Amino acid sequence: MIKRRRTIAAYVVLGASSIVYAALGYATPRVNFTQLVLLFAACFAAYVYVVNQRLPVWHGIAAAIFFRLILLAATPLLSDDYFRFIWDGRLMAAGINPYLHLPEYFVQEGAVAVAGINEALYLKLNSPEYYSVYPPVAQAIFWLSAKLSPESICGSIVTIRVMIIAAEILSILLLLRLLRKMGLPDGYVLLYALNPLVILELTGNLHLEALMIFFVLLGLYQLFYQRVVWAGCAFGLAIGVKLLPLLFLPFMWRKLGFKRFVYFLTAVGLTLLVVSFPLINLEVIEHMAKSVNLYFQRFEFNASVYYLMRWAGIQLTGYNQIAVIGPFLSLVTFAIVVTMAAVKKLGSVKRLMGYMAAALAVYLLLATTVHPWYITTLVALTAASLFRFAIAWSGLAILSYAAYRTSSFNEDTALITLEYTLVLLWLLVELYLYRQRRKHANLT
């Protein structure tokens, strides 16, 4: 009887969550921070309750898909990145390489007219002084959205979101198959499928980590069947969406061994060559490298270790040392990842997935910029483990939106400190418990 009541309560909670997601997606701009935090907290509390009730996994997956469909027609309210998506897509639809020119090139006097490219859209771009950094697979999605909706921003948003929802559904199904292959409970898939940050940031705010996660999981799934070349193709497509999976290549080398890694890397390279061929040349590579370099030297948001080093640098020199600290932390991340890959042999896909998650955690903790949606990949990778610090982080990362409470961007140091203090404490406790389990494994 008690179990039945809890199950009914879980369904009621899921029903109530759908209303909250609608409020988040359609009526909660990021300047309304209090409303955002309260509604998100309600969704997150419901999520924690539901994933601990052992509902039939397919019921949970159905709810996860329904929550995403609720947001189908919503205009992103927490991010304005989608304006650049539409800008690049309209250039592509007009046959213009989006990597070649800065946006201002198309709005200056005497510029060639491009359908849908105008000053009104230009003024909505959040980084018009940078060349586009979105890789070719992402550009293909932008192009399709512009082709299907050449004059409608809303139409482009829906087109991109449909592709994101499709990728999310496939990711959930792949993750479920991976969990079964690893002998883990089916219910772990709901840690990702029902996660409010994943739903809100990927489907709601149109972040393409959704497609990158799908291709990464597809690559891992191919490795279960020793399909090294197909795994390489999947990882190549993942890199073609976001550059982040480059971080995982040292672990692929350790997992596959030299000969098979050569096959894998060749497949990655050829896939990238095929998807990049129409757009890439030396000038484009120079432009992208310049923008990526500026990203590490100028952008800063919701960081942890970097902010401590920035404070120390200001005390010593009197000004922000990001131009030095950013590249330095990137080198430290690279050194740590390579060391991790060199020290441990990765015999199973489960172990590989765990080390990929560890590398990503290191990267995020040392990064100068940690937008909330960056954590969604970590949630996906840790779903196949006993570590839950990424879940805690996904609940706390919403605090970073306090920076947008007013028109003048201003981060709340106290909230960032609270976020990382709780995340690091959670991680340290889990690492201690993990070491204890391994120490006494022969007794269990």
All structural domains of the chain with their residue ranges: 208-280, 297-444
30 Cβ contact partners less than 8 Å away, ≥ 6 residues apart: 36, 77, 78, 401, 404
Closest CA to 157 of 81, 96, 213: 81
Closest CA to 101 of 143, 132, 137, 141: 132
Q: How far apart are CA 238 and CA 144, in angstroms?
A: 18
Q: What is the pLDDT of residue 207?
A: 97
Q: Are 356 and 251 in contact (CB under 8 A)?
A: yes
Backbone angles phi, psi at 356, to 5 degrees: -60, -40
Structure tokens at 159: 């087109």
Write down how long the chain is: 444
Strands (E), 27-147: none
Q: What is the pLDDT of residue 225?
A: 93
Determine the angle formed by the axes of helices 305-317 and 349-366, rounding to 10 degrees.
30
In this prediction, the residues of the chain whose per-residue pLDDT falls under 50 are: 444
The 3-class secondary structure across 82-103, one letter per residue, is: HHHHHHHHHHHHCCCCCCCCCH
Strand partners of residue 369: 301
Q: Tokens 């006993």 belong to which residue?
A: 386
Question: What is the DSSP secondary structure assignment for residue 167, as one 8-state letter?
Answer: H
Backbone angles phi, psi at 43, to 5 degrees: -65, -40
Q: Tell me the per-residue pLDDT of 280-307, one tens digit each, with 9 for 90 and over.
A: 888 888 888 777 776 666 789 999 999 9
Q: Tell me the per-residue pLDDT of 105-131, one tens digit each, with 9 for 90 and over.
A: 998 887 888 899 999 999 999 888 889
